[in-house]
């Protein structure tokens, strides 16, 4: 159902009701919402549920507890998923509506029911809301009211209830007594061994959070067995999640436990038969290094990472390449040079362009971790190779990240290789590639310097102005503007204006329009003197253009530059031209000319 329809319907009902309830202005919108809680239209029910706060404020805490909550429990829990999702969210912030924390336990039961629905997003939201509420409850409330719910859910008939239970243990744990804590741990162990992979996945997902609530020695004796249980699961999707826990648990347990429990898991995952598991290792590698600490990272993890770079599966190598900068921030520079860079040298020649392209994106950032000499000696050859890649994305990624290198060694060393690469991309037959390279030109030019630009790049910038694709021409004119911003008005007057003047004489009117749009853009960056002496004559040149589109663009450009020039220039040059345009035969030209004329006054 579209929104307009919904609104229309709402209006109709509003209209109907407003006739009946005159004088009850405050009560009536709430009454309407209450009625619509059971409306047959889902959109209206959803609207009512989303405004449950409003309803509760009308009823007051006491009636909310005794009437609204039971009503919801009785009738609203078998609704459509979107309504349930809204309800689960609302109930999480409902403590004040039922009259404060002492009554908050009223909310537990409807949320418990929502923890059992089949739609995962609703269950997750209900778990989230329960966590919010329970965090505010007192220890007594948790023991007497919340614990039975967790126990009941964890023994539920269907996996939905049991998997929700996994997410509720952590919040209850610190609020209950020792024996109840032991119960919770036992209960969690049972969930880790559940028959349904869905429950085991959920247990694996929340294990880290659960462990964080415990004392370190308990983690070692009680959580590690759970962890060991999950990491040898026969379902890939469960093992995947064990890695997350490696990262979290590693920080909590002693170095000994890391060596005996965490490290073997990382090792087995890094060599797992399933590419998905290895992919996750590559994705989480930085966190894993943090978890095991610097010594083990140097001794063991480096080798795992190098293996991932040589993986047989493209996706794994792509991920390894993509995280190279992150991961190397955990390695020392000699390790990077001796171990990682040889592996990267292979990736530079990888047969998948996705691998090379994600490597190109990240490899530049490595220079920050190496000295200037190391960068020049080891990294530079890799950059140069990637700059010659046959796949445009790879080259683009290198060029777009030049700033990293600039900080360490300056771009000059690259300039010899950069230029052919830029030229190639500038003429790529895919216009999106051309567009992308244009965006980097201002940055490149400032890094390479004005002279380099004038010598090598200015001509392609001008070629773009005559590109066959409009978007490129437009980007080119904006590009000129940004260059002027960088190099100043004088440079613009001496280098750009003459070239624009040439464009003005081109027979194709589209080029003349491009020139005008460039002029319009440029004028805001230039100082008054340059505008008066160079820009105005250029525009005036085109007043008598045979094509009306050019003429009304002239009028538009006048309107733009009028505020920037002094009065006598306006009177002398612009005003006569504008007046002439106002006499034009074309309506559009007259329209824009009058707009310009009013700008003069």
Partner 1 sequence: KKKKGKKKLNKLKKKKMTFFIKKKGKQEGEWRYQQHFGDIHCKDVKEEDIISALEFDKEGKYLAIGDGGGRIVILKKNPQVKSTEFQVLTEFQSHEMKFDTLKSEEIPQQIKQIKWVPKVNDSLFLLTSNAKTVKLWKIYRKTLHKVVTQQSPTTGKLEIPRLSDSKVIMAHNPKKEYKNAHEFTINSVSTNSDGETFLSADDLRINLWHMDYPDAKHTIVDIKPDDMKNLSEVITSATFHNTDCNQFIYTTTSGVTKLCDLRTGATCGHHEREFSLKGTEKGFFTETIAAVSDAKFSPDGRYILSRDYMTLKIWDVKMEKRPLKTFYVHECLRAKLYDLYENDCIFDKFDCHWSGDGRQVLTGSYKNTFNVFDVKGKKHYLSECARKLKPKKEANFSLLDYSKKVLRTAWHPYDQSLAIATVNSLYIINGNS
- Residues 515 and 465: beta-carbon distance below 8 Å: yes
Q: What span, in angstroms and rounded, lies between the C-alpha atoms of 172 and 108?
A: 13
CB of 140 to partner 1, least distance (A): 30
Nearer to partner 1, 118 or 373 (CB): 118
CB of 117 to partner 1, least distance (A): 7
CB of 273 to partner 1, least distance (A): 5
CB of 245 to partner 1, least distance (A): 19
Q: Give the position of tokens 């109930």.
A: 91
SS3 readout for 229-271: HHHCCCCHHHHHHHHHHHHHHHCCCCHHHHHHHHHHHHHHHHC
Could you say which DSSP state residue 493 is in?
I
CB of 271 to partner 1, least distance (A): 12
- Residues 548 and 510: beta-carbon distance below 8 Å: no
Nearer to partner 1, 317 or 534 (CB): 317
Nearer to partner 1, 272 or 467 (CB): 272
- Residues 543 and 551: beta-carbon distance below 8 Å: yes
CB of 41 to partner 1, least distance (A): 14
19: exposed, middle or buried (C-beta count within 10 Å: 0-12, 13-18, 19+)?
Answer: exposed
- Residues 248 and 210: beta-carbon distance below 8 Å: no
Residues at the site binding partner 1, with contacts judged by CB under 8 A: 17, 20-21, 23-24, 27-28, 30-32, 34-35, 37-38, 58-59, 63, 67-68, 71, 74-75, 78, 81, 116-118, 120-121, 158-160, 196-198, 234-237, 272-276, 312-315
Token pair belonging to 44: 């209206």
Q: What span, in angstroms and rounded, lies between the C-alpha atoms of 184 and 190?
A: 10
CB of 121 to partner 1, least distance (A): 8
For 575, other C-beta atoms within 10 Å of its C-beta total 17
Nearer to partner 1, 9 or 413 (CB): 9
Rounded to the nearest 5°, which phi and psi values hold at 2? -75, 160
CB of 38 to partner 1, least distance (A): 5
CB of 95 to partner 1, least distance (A): 20
CB of 562 to partner 1, least distance (A): 51
Q: What size, in residues, is the chain? A: 601
Q: What span, in angstroms and rounded, lies between the C-alpha atoms of 303 and 318?
A: 17
Q: What span, in angstroms and rounded, lies between the C-alpha atoms of 246 and 252?
A: 10
Q: What span, in angstroms and rounded, lies between the C-alpha atoms of 377 and 387?
A: 17
Nearer to partner 1, 32 or 341 (CB): 32
SS3 state of residue 1: coil
Nearer to partner 1, 161 or 359 (CB): 161
Q: Give the position of tokens 């530059």.
A: 561
Question: Which segments of 488-548 are extended strands (E)?
Answer: none
CB of 278 to partner 1, least distance (A): 9
CB of 157 to partner 1, least distance (A): 8
Q: What span, in angstroms and rounded, lies between the C-alpha atoms of 548 and 136?
A: 71
Q: What span, in angstroms and rounded, lies between the C-alpha atoms of 45 and 65?
A: 20
Helix, strand, coil % in the chain, rounded to nearest 5: 80, 0, 20
Nearer to partner 1, 232 or 505 (CB): 232
Angle at 407 between CA 406 and CA 409, to 5 degrees: 65
Measure Cα distances from 134 to 64, 142, 154, 164, 215 in Å: 19, 7, 17, 15, 21
Could you say which DSSP state residue 234 is in?
S
């Amino acid at each position: 159902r579209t929104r307009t329809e919904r609104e229309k319907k709402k209006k109709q009902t509003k209209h109907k009701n407003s006739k009946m309830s005159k004088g009850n202005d405050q009560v009536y919108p709430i009454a309407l919402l209450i009625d619509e809680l059971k409306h047959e239209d889902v959109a209206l029910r959803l609207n009512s549920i989303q405004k449950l706060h409003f309803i509760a404020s009308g009823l007051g805490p006491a009636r909310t507890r005794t009437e609204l909550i039971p009503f919801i429990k009785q009738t609203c829990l078998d609704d459509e998923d979107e309504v349930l999702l809204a309800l689960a969210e609302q109930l999480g912030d409902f403590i004040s509506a039922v009259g404060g924390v002492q009554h908050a336990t009223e909310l537990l039961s409807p949320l418990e029911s929502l923890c059992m629905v089949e739609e995962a997003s609703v269950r997750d939201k209900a778990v989230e809301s329960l966590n919010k509420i329970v965090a505010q409850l007192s220890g007594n409330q948790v023991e007497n009211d919340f614990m039975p719910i967790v126990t009941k859910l964890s023994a539920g008939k269907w996996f939905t209830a049991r998997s929700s239970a996994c997410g509720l243990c952590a919040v209850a744990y610190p609020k209950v007594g020792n024996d109840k804590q032991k119960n919770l741990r036992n209960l969690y162990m049972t969930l880790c061994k559940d028959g349904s992979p869905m429950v085991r996945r959920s247990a694996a997902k929340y294990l880290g959070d659960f462990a964080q609530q415990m004392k370190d020695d308990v983690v070692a004796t009680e959580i590690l067995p759970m962890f060991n249980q999950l990491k040898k699961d026969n379902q890939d999707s469960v093992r995947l999640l064990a890695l997350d826990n490696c990262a979290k648990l590693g920080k909590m347990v002693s170095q000994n436990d890391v060596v005996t429990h965490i490290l073997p898991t990382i090792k087995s995952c890094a060599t797992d038969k399933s590419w998905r598991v290895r992919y996750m290792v590559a994705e989480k590698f930085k966190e894993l290094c943090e978890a095991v600490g610097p010594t083990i990272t140097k001794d063991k993890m480096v080798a795992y990472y190098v293996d991932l770079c040589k993986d047989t599966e493209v996706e794994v190598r792509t991920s390894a390449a993509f995280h190279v900068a992150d991961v190397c921030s955990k390695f020392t520079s000699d390790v990077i040079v001796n171990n990682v860079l040889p592996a990267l040298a292979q990736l530079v020649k990888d047969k998948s362009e996705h691998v090379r392209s994600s490597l190109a994106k990240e490899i530049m950032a490595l220079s920050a971790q190496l000295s200037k000499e190391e960068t020049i000696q080891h990294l530079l050859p890799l950059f140069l190779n990637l700059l010659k890649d046959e796949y445009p994305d790879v080259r683009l990624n290198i060029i777009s990240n030049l700033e990293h290198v600039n900080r360490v060694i300056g771009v000059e060393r690259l300039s010899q290789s950069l230029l052919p690469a830029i030229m190639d991309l500038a003429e790529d037959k895919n216009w999106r590639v051309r567009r992308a390279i244009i965006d980097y030109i201002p940055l490149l030019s400032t890094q390479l310097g004005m002279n380099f630009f004038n010598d090598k790049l200015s001509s392609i910038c001008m070629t773009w102005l005559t590109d066959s694709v409009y978007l490129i021409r437009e980007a080119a004119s904006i590009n000129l503007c940004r260059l002027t911003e960088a190099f100043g008005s004088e440079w613009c007057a001496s280098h750009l204006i003459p070239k624009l003047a040439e464009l003005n004489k081109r027979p194709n009117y589209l080029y003349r329009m491009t020139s005008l749009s460039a002029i319009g853009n440029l004028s805001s960056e230039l100082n008054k003197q340059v505008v008066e002496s160079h820009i105005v004559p250029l525009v005036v040149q085109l007043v008598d253009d045979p094509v009306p589109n050019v003429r009304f663009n002239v009028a538009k450009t006048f309107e733009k530059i009028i505020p920037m020039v002094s009065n006598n220039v306006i009177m002398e040059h612009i005003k006569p031209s504008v007046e002439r345009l106002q006499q034009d035969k074309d309506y559009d030209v007259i329209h824009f000319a009058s707009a310009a004329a009013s700008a003069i006054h």
